[in-house]
Amino acid sequence: MTFVAPYQDEFGSAIGGLCCLAVVDAVKNLYNVDCTIKWPNDVLFNGKKLCGILPETVVINEKRHILVGVGVNVNYTKKDFGYLGEIAVSLLQIIGKKMDTVVLASEISKNLNEITSEFKQNYSMLLSRYVDKCETLGKIISVEKDGRIISGIAEKIDDDCSLVILTGDKRQKIAWGEITLKK
């Protein structure tokens, strides 16, 4: 699904990650399933990817908007995933029955609307909830930045939702990117 909202300068790079909370809350409220977040914008269940979030800004009728693409694995079987079945999971697999995608989309949309419309007033609460749900922290990760691989310990989520990585005796701040968790 794609959610559209007026863009606010305050969103910055944090909005994509914080929108994960809309999915975490929806699956908890609807199905009593607890999920975690892999920085910056993946929703996980038992370490497997349930959902990815992809934000983008666009201009519509001369006004900036944010598009939040939400890709939840809903009614897939392990066979449907093929080779990705080892790293991905669906609600069907978790709960054992097919889900109504309209009900799920409605709940996620309601949550996204609350997050985007109250972003500025509730930012510190949203960030705190994100950090609490982020399973990346404390783990050894690697990320590609400027054509080189950086590895280290995911130390903290900064105030702008960036990831701070401890690499030896240096700290590096990553605003966005695809990370790999080391096993």
Distance CA 154, CA 167 (A): 9
Is cis: bond before 6, omega within 30 of 0?
A: no
- Widest distance between CA atoms in the chain: 49
Which residue type occupies 165? Answer: I
pTM reported for the whole predicted model: 0.93
Q: What percent of the chain has pLDDT over 70?
A: 99
Where residue 14 falls (left for φ over 0; alpha for ψ -120 to 50; beta otherwise) is alpha
How long, in residues, is the chain? 183
Q: What is the pLDDT of residue 74?
A: 97
Distance CA 180, CA 19 (A): 21
Q: Where are the domains of the chain?
A: 2-133, 140-181
Spatial CA neighbour of 48 closest among 99, 94, 86: 86
Q: What is the pLDDT of residue 4?
A: 95
Sheet holding 42-45, edge to edge: 2-6, 63-72, 48-60, 42-45, 36-38
**Residue 165: its H or E element:** strand 163-167
Which residue type occupies 39? Answer: W
Distance linking the first and last C-alpha atoms of the chain: 32
Which residues of the chain are under the pLDDT cut of 70? 183
Its CATH class, for the domain covering 2-133, is alpha beta
Spatial CA neighbour of 118 closest among 2, 22, 13, 1: 22
Spatial CA neighbour of 172 closest among 158, 34, 10: 158
Q: What is the pLDDT of residue 183?
A: 65
The CATH number of the domain covering residues in 140-181:
2.30.30.100
